[in-house]
């Protein structure tokens, strides 16, 4: 039946009329497989840089399609190339593979009971951000594109990426390492598309934004060195706790008083502060760690200038010394949707989801390491709805929580989008 659908779908195609391929019918035919793959990945999740069985499962399937497959990229990544044998652009499609150290709640028949190791501790593992659906959707698109290979012009590179959630302590991972290892080379990729399932967006809808769509992430650490003293005699101290308090309040004014927030949002947050061990001892040292989130390059550069300026000045005013480490141990650039590419794909999204279901959305201050690909080549990253229509947005569970849930029916649109992005980009170029 699937082969019959293919022949019917492409019978009337011309080389630059890919829109005539009945992608909806092909996606409907492969949907049961997509759901089966998703359930397998969900039941057997693996943590970042430990996606060994996941990678083997993906690689075996891609090899069964007759694709040229490379494994062990950036530790556990899998990359496959579909060559149409005809000249044309190289289109990359990306899915992430890792789960999270979260204990799943609920009674799904494919609920995870897996245990893994995270930073030396035994932890439960769950696909609490939907990466299981991302892999399944990309495998579905790979099936369709392979089966209509004769209609393509150019190459498609399928990227299954490890460690999007961040590598374990002391390790490197994710998109940054894949780029360093040449995933966008041999063949040289012209454009990349990615998507993310959303538990708070209705099934059947796609959300997108042009320009900065997810924030850059820059963790930082501040260590304040003071002078220890008895809490009863504070004048004998150089108090790093009071110094830290002044720094925390002052660095909030970088965003509230120095950035033009009507252009783009930004965040500077302190997430952890440690110092001292008794109520009656002013400690010698306080350590703080925090995060910076920005949606444009100018704001990021301004905060990089302002944060050390304020830290140094406040420490000096208190007679203390301060060390700032920025970035701390990793960073993500801005997930920046190339405006020209985004505009060229609006019609694709409207045709695929329906005009009313292709929604321009505001940027978010969450982050995605898809941004490392977009630093090198034009890219488009969109959100695909996974929330059942009978569940309100208020009642839908958040990502990275034990209750996280997305409906299988949302994946068909993702398969269609990945396929149509590829076909329409090839048609345009």
How many whole angstroms separate alpha carbon 195 and alpha carbon 173?
20
Is the model's pLDDT at 19 over the cut of 90? no
Residue with the two structure tokens 């101290």: 237
How many whole angstroms separate alpha carbon 134 and alpha carbon 34?
10
* Choice between 83 and 8, residue whose per-residue pLDDT is larger: 83
* pLDDT for res 16: 43
Question: What is the residue-averaged pLDDT of the chain?
Answer: 95
Ramachandran sector of residue 87 (left: φ over 0; alpha: ψ -120 to 50; beta: rest)? beta
Domains of the chain, earliest start first: 2-213+335-428 (3.40.630.10), 216-325 (3.30.70.360)
Is the model's pLDDT at 1 over the cut of 80? no
User: Which band of pLDDT confidence, cut at 50, 70 and 90, is reported for residue 309?
Assistant: very high
* pLDDT for res 5: 55
**Interval 106-119 mean pLDDT:** 95
* pLDDT for res 91: 98
**Interval 403-412 mean pLDDT:** 98
With beta carbons less than 8 A apart as the criterion, state whether 173 and 372 touch.
no
User: Which band of pLDDT confidence, cut at 50, 70 and 90, is reported for residue 189?
Assistant: very high
* pLDDT for res 8: 46
User: Which band of pLDDT confidence, cut at 50, 70 and 90, is reported for residue 339?
Assistant: very high
Contacts of 7 (CB under 8 A, 6+ apart): none
Handedness of CA 417, 418, 423, 425 (dihedral sign): positive
Is the model's pLDDT at 15 over the cut of 70? no
Looking at 254-338, list the stretches that DSSP marks H as alpha helix, in order from N- to C-terminal side: 297-317
Cα atoms found within 13 Å of the Cα of residue 263, Cβ hemisphere only? 13
For 244-289, the pLDDT digits (tens) are 999 999 999 999 999 998 888 899 999 999 999 999 999 999 999 9
Q: Tell me if the bond preceding 37 is cis, omega within 30° of 0.
A: no
**Cα–Cα nearest to 276, from 233, 321, 226, 232:** 226
For 203-243, the pLDDT digits (tens) are 999 999 999 999 999 999 999 999 999 999 999 999 999 99
With beta carbons less than 8 A apart as the criterion, state whether 167 and 66 touch.
no
Q: What is the pTM of this model?
A: 0.91
* pLDDT for res 2: 53
Phi, psi of 45 (to 5 degrees): -75, 155
* pLDDT for res 3: 52
Residue 258 DSSP one-character state: I
With beta carbons less than 8 A apart as the criterion, state whether 243 and 286 touch.
yes
How many whole angstroms separate alpha carbon 2 and alpha carbon 30?
8
Residue with the two structure tokens 């002078």: 227
Return the number of other C-beta atoms located less than 10 Å from residue 122's C-beta.
9
Q: What 3-state DSSP class applies to 30?
A: helix
Phi, psi of 189 (to 5 degrees): -80, 135
CA distances from 267 to 131, 172, 208, 279, 366 (A): 26, 25, 22, 32, 11
**Interval 125-140 mean pLDDT:** 98
Residue with the two structure tokens 């569940």: 391
351 exposure class (CB count in 10 Å sphere: 0-12, 13-18, 19+): middle
Residues recognised as catalytic: 98, 164
How many whole angstroms separate alpha carbon 309 and alpha carbon 251?
10
Give the torsion through C-alpha atoms of 388, 406, 79, 214, to 10 deg. 90
* pLDDT for res 312: 98
What angle, 0 to 180 degrees and rounded to 10, lies between the N-to-C axes of helices 23-43 and 2-10? Answer: 140
Q: In the structure encoding, which two tokens stand for residue 83, read together?
A: 């060559």
* pLDDT for res 418: 98
How many whole angstroms separate alpha carbon 160 and alpha carbon 132?
11
């Amino acid at each position: 039946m699937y082969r019959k659908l293919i022949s019917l779908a492409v019978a009337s195609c011309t080389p630059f009329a890919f829109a005539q391929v009945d992608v909806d019918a092909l996606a409907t035919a492969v949907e049961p497989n997509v759901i089966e793959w998703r359930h397998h990945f969900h039941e057997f999740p693996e943590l970042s840089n430990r996606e060994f069985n996941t990678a083997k499962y993906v690689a075996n399937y891609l090899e069964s399609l007759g694709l040229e497959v490379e494994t062990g990229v950036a530790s556990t990544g899998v990359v496959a190339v579909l060559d149409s044998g005809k000249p044309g652009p190289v289109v990359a499609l990306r899915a992430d593979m890792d789960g999270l150290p979260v204990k799943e709640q609920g009674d799904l028949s494919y609920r995870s009971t897996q245990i893994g190791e995270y930073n030396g501790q035994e932890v439960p593992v769950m696909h609490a951000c939907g990466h299981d659906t991302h892999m399944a959707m990309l495998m579905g698109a790979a099936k369709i594109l392979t089966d209509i290979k004769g209609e393509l012009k150019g190459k498609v590179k399928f990227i299954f990426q490890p460690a999007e959630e961040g590598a374990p302590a002391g390790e490197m991972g994710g998109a940054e390492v894949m780029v360093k290892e040449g995933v966008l080379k041999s063949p040289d990729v012209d454009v990349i598309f990615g998507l993310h399932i959303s538990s708070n967006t209705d099934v059947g809808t796609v959300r997108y934004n042009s320009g900065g769509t997810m924030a850059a992430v820059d963790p930082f650490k501040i260590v304040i060195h003071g002078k220890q003293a008895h809490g009863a005699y504070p004048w004998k101290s150089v108090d790093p706790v009071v110094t830290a308090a002044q720094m925390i309040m002052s660095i909030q004014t970088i965003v509230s008083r120095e950035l033009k927030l009507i252009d783009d949002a930004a965040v500077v947050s302190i997430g952890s502060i440690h110092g001292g061990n008794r109520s009656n001892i002013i400690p010698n040292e306080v350590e703080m760690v925090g995060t910076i989130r920005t949606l444009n390059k100018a704001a990021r550069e301004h905060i990089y200038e302002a944060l050390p300026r304020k830290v140094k000045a406040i420490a000096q005013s208190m007679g203390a010394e301060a060390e700032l480490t920025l970035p701390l141990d990793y960073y993500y650039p801005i997930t920046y949707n190339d405006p020209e590419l985004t505009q060229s794909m609006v019609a694709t999204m409207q045709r695929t989801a329906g005009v009313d279901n292709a929604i321009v959305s505001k940027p978010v201050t969450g982050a995605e390491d898809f941004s490392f690909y977009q630093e090198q080549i034009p890219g488009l990253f969109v959100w695909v709805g996974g929330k059942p229509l009978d569940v309100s947005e208020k009642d839908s569970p958040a990502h990275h929580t034990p209750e996280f849930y997305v409906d299988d029916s949302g994946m068909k649109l993702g398969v269609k989008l990945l396929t149509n992005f590829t076909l329409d980009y090839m048609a345009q170029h």
